[in-house]
Amino acid sequence: MDKKQHIAVFTTASLPWMTGTAVNPLFRAAFLSKDGERKVTLVIPWLSLKDQELVYPNNITFSSPSEQEKYVHQWLEERAGFRSCFSIRFYPGRFSRDKRSILPVGDISEIIPDEEADIAVLEEPEHLTWYHHGKRWKVKFHLVIGIIHTNYLEYVKREKNGRMKALLLKYGNSWVVGIYCHKVIRLSAATQDYPKSIICNVHGVNPKFLEIGKKKIEQQQNGKQAFTKGAYYIGKMVWSKGYEELLRLLHDHQKELAGLEVDLYGNGEDSDQVQEAAKKLELAVRVHPGRDHADPLFHDYKVFLNPSTTDVVCTTTAEALAMGKIVVCANHPSNEFFKQFPNCWTYEDSNGFVEATRRALAEEPSQLTNEQRHELSWEAATERFLKATELDQAPAKKLSKIPPKAFMSTSLNLGRSMEDASAYVHFVASGFEASRKIFGAIPGSLQPNEEQRKELGLAPS
């Protein structure tokens, strides 16, 4: 009998879309399965060709799930440095233009057969369950762990009638996460709070960035100039991803920052507007297409400017620190984990940004210790994940005890009954096209269409 833990990692995006919810769950699956002690399946969205063309960069498209699976494994192997032993399965997804994200179609829990359903990790559980209509996650899986990646409330607040929308979304998120997850991990305090959640950064960096950082340390120790370029920023080129804050800071302090040169790298819906705004500045702010952060082009930059306050834990900040750079970022809950590193320089206000930026350009970065480098790694992130979820304990320790007193048992049963009723309300509401549409679901997303069924080998409707 197979006594290994079966962990299914469900996420909301996939390569070649270079977004955090595509990259980080991929590395999580790789490092959870690395020691061979667990059976791991990564479950990612499959998009029709039309949506692939909207989402994936550089005209990359796939004619079949197996073709994309090969691409994902190859990309990972080139960066992780070892051959991964987890499997990949696909669920039907559709791209929502207004939400700028991929939403699941149908009951995606069915992708994992009942006999394999043991532990589910829902990367962005609110996103995966807003419109879920099917088997209840807590019933199908013995343990459901939600990992909160995204500060949705901060994004929504920036929209028209944002405060009211954010209030409604806050209660909606708490509702579905409470219904469907046993445990909730928030990557930082920058997310909304959830009952019984814990804060723990369970993300690491691509090993390639640590290798780059190691070479930079060797150059510094040999007395060579390790960093020959100035300041840059990389991120999806939409205003809410830090570009609005950065360009405002540069605009408001052009005199104090005279002579500063900044390179911006990214692709996104607001690229043209960002380029126009950059041209209006007296400072030399150059806008470039997005590239892989591990590209040699970035190795010699010394300072990473990241004023974003919409991130939860910024992947590119971690990557820049791993490469040995100085990071100038806001004193914000999303950056709390990074404050332990000597090259993370935070600021309180715009004057602090100017002072930190000028000082960073004038000084040399500190050399990270082996312990600090380990803290940034996926090995350390996996250790933190297993400890936070108690999956590092023997199965016997995870068994729940029967409440010793009758009133405790009654209270527990009452709580379960209320949760069951709440789950039933969500099941009913998510089963009607009209109610789904009111709450923002993509029309026709209750079940996959025939094209996606055929591509994924699902039974005809």
pLDDT tens digits, 339-394: 999 999 999 999 999 999 999 999 999 999 999 999 999 999 999 999 999 998 86
Q: So what's the pLDDT on residue 395?
A: 58
pLDDT tens digits, 122-162: 999 999 999 999 999 999 999 999 999 988 887 788 788 88
The owner of tokens 């590193």 is 341
Q: So what's the pLDDT on residue 406?
A: 38
pLDDT tens digits, 414-434: 567 888 888 889 999 898 888
Q: So what's the pLDDT on residue 149?
A: 92
Residue 95 in contact with residue 82, Cβ under 8 Å?
no
Q: So what's the pLDDT on residue 410?
A: 47
Cα dihedral sign, 379-381-382-387: positive
pLDDT tens digits, 259-318: 999 999 998 889 999 999 999 999 999 999 988 899 999 999 999 999 998 889 998 999
Q: How would you classify the pairing of strands 87-96 and 101-104?
A: antiparallel
Reported pTM: 0.88
Domains of the chain: 6-203+387-456 (3.40.50), 207-376 (3.40.50.2000)
pLDDT tens digits, 37-71: 999 999 999 999 999 999 998 899 999 999 999 99
The rounded radius of gyration (Å) of the Cα atoms in the chain is 23
Question: Tokens in use for 449?
Answer: 């269409």
